[in-house]
A and B are shown apart, each in its own frame.
Chain A
Amino acid sequence: MRQLIFLFIGILFGITMYKSEAASWFRIYEMFQFKSFHMYGIIGSALVLGVLMIQLIKRNKIKSAFGETISIPDKEKSFYRYAYGGILFGLGWALAGACPGPMFTLLGAGFYSILVVIFFAVLGTWVYGRIASKLPH
């Protein structure tokens, strides 16, 4: 039952990624060209609502559907891993035009070439895991 809830949330997410065109290579290209407000509007409005929502959740100690306190773990404090990892991610994002959510959406939309992107994204994750201890974090 719980798994079905997450499936439903995923469907909502997939429809949103496709219909808002955030899953389109063209929109990502246009965003980095600063030619349209579209992607900035999507991320910015999600962010404004997200900040308000999380503040409300924290201040009012809102409980989850299962009665637990909603907790959002703080990210590990560091600089290099976020800077280096972020830049590498950005290079790939602008090249393949897809990040890890929309990749799945594009597969469902019938763009089967995206399987190459997904396969190599899994491979990239695996290589990171293998050499993580040797990288500056």
Chain B
Amino acid sequence: MEWIFKPWPWFIGGPMIALVLFLLLYFGKNFGMSSNLRTLCTICGAGKSSEFFNFDWKKQQWNLMVSLGAILGGGIASQWLSLDSSVLIHPDTIAKLQELNIESAGTAYLPDELFSLEALLQPKVLLILAIGGFLVGFGARYAGGCTSGHAISGLSNLQLVSLYAVIGFFAGGLLMNHFLLPYIL
């Protein structure tokens, strides 16, 4: 059982995601996490002024439960199933990030420079998190799904349009990672 406490290799992580996909299908649902963001808009009353948000959110209650579970799972995994949460990325990547002033690379789960509460006091960090979040939410709904809905669920169902979306995810990601982040960080 010792493997549980270490970071899981890809050949455990990937099949576990496939298991989650199977369980959702078996219980009559489809895998798609970004739909919850739309449901949250509706719960906050967005349906009153917009047709897009005017739907019976109770039908999406199951998916909110999946999100709640994802929160609890994060707590369980970090509190009880991890000894050391440092993410050992490739030494070249650590060196590259240190050049960009991300000193915590290789010693933390998330970069302290972006996610510690002290960092949040810097306007630049707040903007990074805000713009990143905004693009994820806007883009996921525009594309009709995110990593779970398109890259896992859609591609598994051989949907050509999900391939367009996933190519878009990577095009945008590569652009940010290689050409914008070096100036932003």
Contacts and interface: CB of A to CB of B under 8 A. Distances in A.
Interface in B56-91: 61-63, 65-78, 81-82, 87, 89-90
Contact of A121 (B22, B134, B170): B134
B8 A20 contact: yes
Contacts of B29: 6
Interface residues of A, number: 115
A65 B74 contact: no
Given A9-B69, A11-B72, A95 B89 contact: no
Contacts of B173: 28, 31-32, 90-91, 93-94
Contacts of A20: 7-8, 10, 12-14, 16
Interface string A29-49: 111110111111111111101
A28 to B, nearest CB: 8
Interface residues of B, number: 127
Interface string B127-139: 0111111111111
Given A17-B70, A95-B184, A120-B133, A50 B26 contact: no
A37 B10 contact: yes
A61 interface: no
Contact of A105 (B9, B15, B70): B70
Nearest to B118: A113
A53 to B, nearest CB: 6
Contacts of A64: 25-28
B65 to A, nearest CB: 4
A3 interface: yes
Interface string A46-58: 1101110110010
Nearest to B65: A6
Given A10-B67, A116-B133, 16 more contacts: A6-B62, A19-B12, A43-B147, A45-B14, A76-B144, A83-B165, A86-B165, A93-B132, A93-B176, A94-B176, A96-B136, A99-B34, A110-B78, A116-B120, A118-B133, A120-B133
